[in-house]
Amino acid sequence: MKKKIALIVGISGQDGSLLAKFLLSKNYVVYGTSRFKSLKNLKKLKIIKKIKIFQLNTHAYNNLDKIIKKTRCDEIYYLFGQSSVKLSEKLSYEAISSNNLPLVDILEYVRKAKKKIKVFNTSSAEIFGKFGKKRCNENSNFDPQSFYALSKLISLKIMQSYRQQFKIWSSNGIMFNHESTLRNNKFIIKKIITSVKKIHEKKQKKLIVGDINISRDWGWAAEYVKAMWKILNYKKPDDFIIATGNNNKLKNIIKKVFSYYGLNYLKYVVRSKKYFRNNEVRITQADISKAKKLINWKPKIDIDLLLKKMIKNEI
């Protein structure tokens, strides 16, 4: 039986690396593109030698059609692009272009070549904006509050347009926050865990953060990449929210991490306006009933186990 071939555009990040590992476990041939040469996540997962990597510059997308043709892939996972809400305030053009222009190139190749290639795109919970009290589902209204959120809404709509107009197998995963041991310190949970460890070791005095009263739906990334695969291998192309269905206040997460080390967070936490975002989304709440029912996906790892895994890895 012929092995399935997957191309992960943006393989070196957290999701791309974990997805590569998962697909290899499913006996896929895996190719990937990356802007970076270090590929430390793939090395950490000990899968670097099992994957063929193509270098792809952020602003040079012309090689994508050649890469797709060369790999003869059956599935494409688009995990590429600028991924920081805060950074998108300053890099609005990069946020919009990197999250969308290469995606259009991919879809255009599939359309013109008339290949039966399935395409998956990662959208974001940020597209819903200020949630209010209702849980968001796949039919909720959109209200992006940042250029990053806007870029992810555009990518979702591009995928839907190609699906409807050209019958291309294009599916979206609307991703809520998700973490793993591969995260770097730019992401808040990893920053908290790294800082509290240093405070415990007396190498750092304070944890400096922004608004600690925001709430998010945080999940475990290794479970989320499995959902990506399930979405793309569902009986028809469609869009699904990927989340836990539970949300947690950042203040409570900070308290839990400090408690792990036997410390009172009130003595060490400093809030700085430097880390406050313009138009901050206060709370994210997800309805994951569609994913449960149609692709039989439900996450098992809650916030306490997630924190425990990340803390132990840091130790």
Phi, psi of 123 (to 5 degrees): -95, -165
CA distance 312 to 315: 5
**Which position among 124, 140, 180, 195 bears the catalytic label?**
124
Element at 14 (helix H, strand E):
helix 14-25
> Can 148 be counted among the known catalytic residues?
yes
Closest by CA to 174, choosing from 220, 120, 210, is 120
**Which position among 31, 61, 148, 162 bears the catalytic label?**
148
CA distance 41 to 172: 24
**Which position among 98, 123, 126, 151 bears the catalytic label?**
126
Phi, psi of 296 (to 5 degrees): 55, 50
Name the region of 296 (left: φ>0; alpha: ψ -120 to 50; beta: rest).
left
Closest by CA to 22, choosing from 68, 77, 71, 69, is 77
Closest by CA to 76, choosing from 42, 36, 108, is 108
> Can 146 be counted among the known catalytic residues?
no
Active site amino acids: 124, 126, 148
